[in-house]
Chains A and B, each alone.
Chain A
Amino acid sequence: MVDEFTQTLLGIMVAVIMLGMGASLTPRDFYLALRRPYGLFIGVVSQYGIMPFLGFLLALFLVVPETIALGILLMACMPGGTTSNIFTYFSKGNLALSVLMTVTSTVSGVVLIPLILTIYAAALDIEIPREDIVKVLFVLLVPVAIGMSVRRLNANVGATIEFFGSILGVLFIVFIAVTWIPQNWQFLLNTTSATYTAAIGLGLVGITIGYFFAKSLRLHPRNARTVALETGIQNGPLAIAIIVFTFPPEQQQAIMAVPALYSLFIVIVSTCVTFVFRRANTAAEQKMPDSLL
């Protein structure tokens, strides 16, 4: 359950996160994403090809109630999150590529998320409030647009919003941990291990598949690591916002289980992956030192 205060706070936080994401963008990014289909291709395939299919398989084969399955599917259909950019930074990946992929998947999400959700939900025989989801996605594009214009008017204000937005991305997870978990403690104790498997597996398997997908495209190891993180790390706050604003309160607890647990576990998973990637990066650096400027 989410009380009204928490709900408002969640809404504000997501809005600020999206504002920050907007401040990291220029209109040129959109234009380019459309003009250069290769980046778009990688982003779209990993976010809306690999991840939803993985979510679909998890929902299909794990024995979970319909509401949990819906949560898995929703989480799997989300675009890349801004936290992926932070982890890419720490794992010494290609930050520009990470940002580009997050942007591409967020923007194309307006069309693709409802579409893919509808298909998989039909396959799993689950009902979804499609129109409401589209509405929330659109509403959340407003702060993105505001963020973009702010940056255009003043780069310093833009960069500051972006900075606080990404900090809030992390704080959001802390917020979930301290508010949602205690409130839903009993529910979490009673839920089956399948729910946890889905919440952890989505990120872990997503990163793994993303890595091999990038490898199969013969991307540079650094870029492959970036694509991997980008694929596995979803926009958790967005999923939670969609649930809070589109589903009736009595259903929210169960639907939100996987997105909330995913948001917590992805931090742990990504941190471990970042350590592995950093080591791989150091090894590569010793073999071929980056040239001097």
Chain B
Amino acid sequence: MVDTDRPWQAYYGANIRPVLDQATYRNIPDMIHSVAETYGKAKAFTCVLPNGMNGTLTFKQIDEMSDAMAVYLREIAGLNVGDRVAVQLPNCLGFPIAAFGILKAGCVLVNVNPMYTSEEMAKQFEDAEPHVLITIDMFADKVVEATRGHPIPNVIVTRVAEFFPAMPRGIVGLVQKYWDKVLKPIEVPHIRLPAALNAGREHIKNDRIEAEKYSQEVTLDDIAVLQYTGGTTGVAKGAMLTHGNLIMNMEQAMELLAGDMQKGEEVILTALPLYHIFAFTVNMLSFYWLGARNILIPNPRPLSNLKRAFENYKITWMSGVNTLFNGLNNEIWFRHSPPKHMKFAGAGGMALQAAVAERWREVAGCDVLQGYGLTETSPVLTFEPLGKAREGTIGIPVPSTEVACFDEHGQKLGIGEVGEIAARGPQIMKGYWKKPEETDNVMIDDWFLTGDIGVMDEDGYFRIVDRKKDMVVVSGFNVYPNDVEDVIATHPGVLEVAVIGVPDNSSGEAVKAFIVLSDKTLKQDDIRSFCKDHLTSYKVPKRVVFRDELPKSNVGKILRKDLRAEEMAQMAAE
């Protein structure tokens, strides 16, 4: 029976239920614990370095260690339910321990991009006000500067080879310290992660504390994660994702894979960063729930860093963004020996180019299916059903989710009518942290407005035609022109600046800056290196052009849309 409001349901596979039951767990800690009970000594997370050195933790170990983490946070760091804990880690074994421990303590996890500059970190810390920061030795030198505005009393430091066997751990440490010279002295008082866990274990043993009691008071409606995003307006804000949001989105994502993925048998590759919502929900939560072994790659660049992981493990599923798939398609070693056991791959974060998907099919011999969503939606909203993907679309809504296009008056539009894509479902965030007016801007009743302009066809497939906001998506990372313009404008030799996104073959979109100089001797590279000092690398303009003037409206506002139109016309001409 097909719902006329939800024509897409006809395209669900036989294994997919159109509507999911209420969450089957009380909260995320409940899920973590009961999954660990089921899979016990099976391998849960393996962190693999470029040379093949690795460390593995089982489900049971993850459960035990995250318990100790939770006890440390509550009993020693003195946190309460709802207190924020910032996690600034690349993919490593410490990540799931930290994330699960925070949630078990009833605290709120704040994901921070480890590549952030201290200025960017400071902004996020001032807003989220975390009490504890869990970071990695490689980036800990930025903490002093970043915590000037909002001091963080407790800093826990881990390292990339943490929980590896002693020999490889020692070698990695020595190489990082004396060879790569990436370990700088850590100037803030801190405790090492294993020491923090031991302190937690002591409390468990001596005071007979059970970590389970902390999460007893946590409901599905409580905030689990503050996930920062510029949203539709570019003002950095934390999307409040609840335990219910994440559990439901996890179940929605796994419902799509039902029948194709076997519980307790999969080996998945996580090359995308876990601090990004896509890998956080889909790779970490969902596949943990499925009992899969998760291969964590701390740094996928250069892509040859993935070679040993592909050689040493029988990867059955991986997630990626267009840039990653495109990159792998072009790696000699990958083309020569594509993973034999992979069932299919999942793409998100940015539009997957048809040519890349097609080439992936040839090279890897399996499909790559894309999903669409936003930080605010935990993130998955739509997906391409296996075997029924349609070129140029973002697929159909996931179970228990309604997607529709709205006109500017907030009225729902029909088939074929272009409007702003909106969604409602159990995965829609609770709102923006401490920014109710921003929340009001994006919600119409229980519908969330995505800021993407799209259209639905008669079968319920959605297509994105434009973006309402000026945001640029570089390989799945949001870049707000304002942020970049603000930095460039502070350069003494710059008179005016406008930043837009332009189509780019490798990263989907690239940041392009148009600059009017007051100091004519400046070169493109001067601007780029200036940006590098103040911005994360993905925000640094890939292209810089100098102009004599910029297009402006009659009130003097710089018109980014004119620059974009100019750029498009030029591309069309080529």
Contact = CB atoms under 8 A, between A and B. Distances in A.
B527 to A, nearest CB: 13
Interface stretch (A8-16, A92-100, A115-123): A92-100
B428 to A, nearest CB: 29
A286 interface: yes
Contacts of B331: 96
Nearest to B542: A289
Contacts of A160: 53, 167-168, 171
A156 B337 contact: no
Contact of A32 (B167, B321, B337, B506): B337
B336 interface: yes
B301 interface: yes
A46 B69 CA distance: 56
Interface string B297-328: 00011011001100110000000010110010
A272 interface: no
Which of A39, A151, A292 has the largest number of chain B CB atoms within 10 A?
A292
A218 interface: no
Interface in B319-349: 321, 323-324, 327, 331-333, 336-337
Interface residues of B, number: 38
Nearest to A36: B336
Contact of B475 (A32, A39, A163, A293): A293
B506 to A, nearest CB: 3
A291 B336 CA distance: 23
Contact of B525 (A286, A291, A293): A286
Interface string B83-110: 0000000000000000000000000000
Nearest to A156: B168
Interface residues of A, number: 24
A162 interface: yes
Given A32-B336, A291-B504, A156 B54 contact: yes
Interface string B378-394: 00000000000000000
B168 A28 contact: no
A292 B308 contact: no
Contact of A293 (B304, B327, B542): B327
A193 interface: no
A99 to B, nearest CB: 9
B281 interface: no
A158 interface: yes
Given A160-B171, A291-B475, A293-B324, A100 B542 contact: no
A278 to B, nearest CB: 15
14 contacts: A96-B304, A97-B332, A155-B54, A156-B53, A156-B164, A159-B51, A159-B53, A160-B53, A163-B171, A289-B542, A290-B301, A292-B474, A292-B475, A293-B301
Interface of A: 26, 28, 32, 36, 39, 94-97, 100, 151, 155-156, 158-160, 162-163, 286, 289-293
